[in-house]
Structure 1
Amino acid sequence: MTAPDQPEDSTPDTKFAHVSLGYYPTIVALFTATLLISNICATKGVAFFSGTEFALGPLQILPVITDGGFFLFPLAYVLGDVLSEVYGFKATRRAIYIGFGALILAAACFWVTVQLPSAQFYDNQDSLETVVGVIPRLLVAGLAAYLVGQLLNSLVLVMMKKRMQEKHLWARLIGSTVVGEFADTLIFCSIAAGVIGIDTWTDFVNYVLVGFLWKTLVEVLVMPVTYRVIAHVKKNEPTYT
């Protein structure tokens, strides 16, 4: 049993900080906001290099098809990495559950808002439904993918840290990202394929691989920033000794 003055996941050899002090509430708030904003941005389909076609077997390289949340959603995994590395799995799991609850609350509020009778002067009902309308299958796909992907990301990182201690942070960040992002992408596509127009195995494989590779690449590119944030939080958390 953990002593009262020790963080939840701490052991004599593995260090984590208390969640009640320092940066934890701020990071959780930013983590939750990132999830909410990226899910709204994701309602827009985006195509890069739409005039060019290039493929390697079943993998379509160009054009790059994604959604409007592509630049923001990976930040949720970066923040998840910071939480896991500094505060441990139990504290990160709590943040993930908070984000999960916020997503459900947002979906419920959006659904109620769409169902409310429109005033005579309001002409944007169709646009509102397009942006925030709730499609049950997509909602289930997004929630399941987020929950499993984030929990696996955190669990893998913490398990690796307990073996490596403070060494080889890059390995923990990449290893947890590969597992978490692949699970996230695979689960979402498996549930939502029919709704988003994926009806062949070629399209399914392409969507999963491109989505997974893109999200992983983004996290690798921002790894220097993740390193700096983790170092700053560790240095300034009074309970991370």
Structure 2
Amino acid sequence: MPDAQTTHAIQARRDLVFLVLAGLFLGTLGMLNILGLTRFLALGQIGSWPIVVAVGALPYPVTFLCTDLISELWGEEKAAQVVWVGLLLNGWVVLILWLGGVMPGLSGGPEDTFFEIQRLAFGSVGASMVAYLTAQFVDVRLFHFWKQRTEGKALWLRNNGSTLVSQLVDTTAVVLISHYGAHVLPVRGGEPVLPQLAAFIASGYLFKAIAALADTLPFIWLTGWLRRWLEVPGAGSEITG
């Protein structure tokens, strides 16, 4: 049986890892809400189909890796708590951007830059708050559904089976709300809208799906390494306390 000093050291490691994962999740979420739709990146082309991704989407797959690791090691309740804190962070971002717009500013400052960022951020945050909450809870719930069905085995299945579905939900919701709710997508006038929105959804999902598949091996390796370092016994078992 470990002594008090060893138990304290193990708990300190567990607290540190949880803080890093939750901090990376929340920091990434805040960053993508500010960057959001400020720029669209051309990542290549498949035939005549361009792969276009909003800059805010670049770090987003990291959030699903973080919640999957928290789900695997700490359980569904802890992962859900982090998701709810992320929603509060979204609200905090909106509040600060709103205050920055209504409070008096110095003449001659970069007013146009701020208000353009505010306009785009309001559009992306409004879209992401709905999409984020839906997609992250879908991810957490599906992760534990597959974990229960496989009795803690098949890490690759619950990692990809949860993320691939939740990323499709997220991408579709963000694109549709960004266009119909906030009107901030660079849609070309004079051309049919639905094919353009479908292209945005397909491009965003393709990027996120590739990122999700690419993180399978890191997820499996990190899970195994963290289980040993944090002394979490047995596949599928979770940290308590």
Paired position in structure 2 for 1:109: 96
Paired position in structure 2 for 1:8: none
Q: Which moved more, 1:148-157 or 1:79-88?
A: 79-88
Does the 8 Å contact 2:33/2:124 carry over to 1? Answer: no
Q: Report 1:176-195 matches (<5 A).
A: 176-194=162-180, 195=183
Q: CA deviation at 1:132?
A: 3.6
Name the SS of the counterpart of 1:167 in structure 2. coil
CA distance in 1, matches of 2:124, 2:43: 26
Paired position in structure 1 for 2:239: none
Name the SS of the counterpart of 1:66 in structure 2. strand
Paired position in structure 2 for 1:40: 34
Paired position in structure 2 for 1:169: 155
- Aligned: 1:98 with 2:114: no
CA distance in 1, matches of 2:157, 2:99: 44
Name the SS of the counterpart of 1:44 in structure 2. coil
- Aligned: 1:77 with 2:64: yes
Paired position in structure 1 for 2:237: none
Cα 1:29/1:184, change in 2 over 3 Å: same
Q: CA deviation at 1:25?
A: 2.8
Q: CA deviation at 1:238?
A: 4.3
Q: Report 1:131-170 matches (<5 A).
A: 131-133=117-119, 136-170=122-156
Q: Paired residues, what number?
A: 215
Q: Report 1:209-224 matches (<5 A).
A: 209-224=202-217
Runs of 5+ unmatched residues, structure 1: 1-16
Q: CA deviation at 1:168?
A: 1.2
Q: TM-score w.r.t. structure 2 length?
A: 0.79
Paired position in structure 1 for 2:74: 87
User: 2:133 is aligned with what amino acid?
Assistant: L
User: 1:220 is aligned with what amino acid?
Assistant: L
User: 1:235 is aligned with what amino acid?
Assistant: R
Cα 1:235/1:92, change in 2 over 3 Å: same
Q: CA deviation at 1:26?
A: 2.7
CA distance in 2, matches of 1:104, 1:134: 15
Does the 8 Å contact 1:110/1:134 carry over to 2? Answer: no
Paired position in structure 1 for 2:229: 236
CA distance in 1, matches of 2:220, 2:99: 41
CA distance in 2, matches of 1:28, 1:36: 12
Structure showing the higher helix proportion among its residues: 2
Q: Deviations over 1:165-201 (max 9, x none)?
A: 3321111111101111011111112222231144622
Name the SS of the counterpart of 1:65 in structure 2. strand
Q: TM-score w.r.t. structure 1 length?
A: 0.79
Does the 8 Å contact 1:114/1:125 carry over to 2? Answer: no
User: 1:231 is aligned with what amino acid?
Assistant: G
Computed over aligned residues only, the root mean square deviation of the Cα atoms, in angstroms, reads 2.4
Alignment equivalent of 2:24, drawn from 27, 30, 45: 30
Identity of aligned residues (%): 17
Name the SS of the counterpart of 1:40 in structure 2. helix
